[in-house]
Structure 1
Amino acid sequence: MKRTRTQKTVFLGAVSMVMLAAFPAFAQQDVSARLSRMENEIQTLSRALFKGETPPAEYQPYENSTAGAVSADRQAALELRLSQIEQEMATLTGRIEEQDYALRNLQNRLEQISVERIQTSPVSLPRPTAQSAPALADGTAGTLGTLSQKPNGALSANAEDDDPDAAYQRAYALMRDRHYDEAEKAFTGFLSRYPAHRLADNARYWLGETHYVRGEYERAARLFAEGYQKDPAGPKGPDNLLKLGMSLGGMGKKDDACLTFSQILKDGAGSPNPIQDRAEAERTKLGCE
């Protein structure tokens, strides 16, 4: 009976590990495909908006328009779509982070189950004897063994409070739901408690975003500049530099913004991507030379 139960546990664990490996692969393939389509659309829209190429059919409401010319209505529609794609890409990036978080939680849970199986195995537990609880001076049984026992709920709450991944996800959820004031406080608290955590750069970037979307360009610029200086070659390096330029533009510092966008194009010369396309678009919008 014990052997059957053990075999069942091993089987369920194996199935869980297979699902654990397969789930993120399928999910990330779907997200990667969507990101690729968005990148292609950004390049198409950017060429139509800033290089005078013929826009896609859905952005041509007038049949008598001159080929390659972009009317004011079309230009507004193209700019709106570019902004929508940027927001969608940010959402997909957050979804990848959420999947990674869920994956780590599942891995930790499987490890915990394995440890619990070992600790609670009947084979490893000695039979209780009369000497199991030491007697005190007055002859009563000792209760020292109960000091380490805590309700599972209290332990889980403390673990969640001390979990930086959970704290980051809560902050990002507020940002995703556009609760920018609360997201600002949550990301600020995360950086205060976990300044060296692997998600600190992401948290600093999204903290800057909470200011940027509210038009607080000076605060946003400081955070994006700090993020870029800390890790210019990191995953958020190009994003920080782009948003730094956009924040400087929002502050009216055209020359500084133009230099920033030029640096992005210089760093990524020969490898077109959405960051460079957006930098080129912002250069054109500001009238950079």
Structure 2
Amino acid sequence: MYRLKEYLICLFAVILILNIQNKSFSEESEIYDILNVIQKDLRTLEKAVYAGDSFSTSQSSDSNLSQDTLTRHLLKLSDIEQQFQELTSKFEEINFKIDKLSNRISKNQADSQLRFQDLEKARLSGRLQSTDIVSDQPEKQLPGTSEAQILGRISDKDLKDTQIVQSTQSVESTSAVVTEKYISEEKILPEGTPKEQYDFALSFVKVGDYETAEIALKEFVDMNTKDELAGSAQYWYAETFRIRQLYQDAATAYLDGYQKYPKSVKAPVNLLKLGVSLVQIGEKDQGCSMITGVSKQYPKASQSVLQRAKYEEKKFDCPTKKS
């Protein structure tokens, strides 16, 4: 800027000297007018350049400020997203428990109705048997009593005893059938397509029944090792341990998912959670290596995962590797 100013002044001085030598004193006023115009233009140009520099500096500062603000908003958005998922999970858990309780009530009502029917059949059977017992016995008549009174007493006693025996046998038989039914059910997953089985297993995660989810997801992975949903199932299987703060088991499960399903849709977040779990069990160096490796191995992962990885790096004070 200052070089431009000096150059213009020198140029003007040369022109002025040449003009003075060739022109009379009557033209001095015109020369001074020209000088004033050039000075005004020079000042205007200087202000414009200064304003341009200020605008560039301000724009650069605003750009840096906007980048920092965007990063903070993305981190907050990631936290809000996680909180929303937790609230959704709790809401679904409540609905599932209500449905489960309703199913239990309906089942108990059906079982009770079945038992009552068995008891009713037992009563009818007991009455028939008591009638046969009474009819087979010889008729004995005591002095001063009538035949109807003796038969009535014998029939009532035998009938009550027979009803008790038959009712007890019926209840024991029904309980044995129900118990045998539940003991024989070894598998959790129902029959169906892998997608249906996956949704069924994942439903236990959504309602917070992580122990059952652990068993169901493990069963799914064992049965559908090569299915496209196996990687996602392995991730959620590991999640059932992490949520219960069983970080050693979680790290092992995440590591299996990282090694067996590196191209799964859950692979980036699986690697991130593996790193977090390793840090939780005291393996900070390995854990930080996994966390910082998320953006390198999966640069096209979702922004929420990448931002979460940066957040975990700062949280655990992971050293940044210089390339």
Q: TM-score, normalised by structure 1?
A: 0.46
Q: TM-score, normalised by structure 2?
A: 0.42
Q: If you compute each CA radius of gyration, which structure gives the higher value, 1 or 2?
A: 2
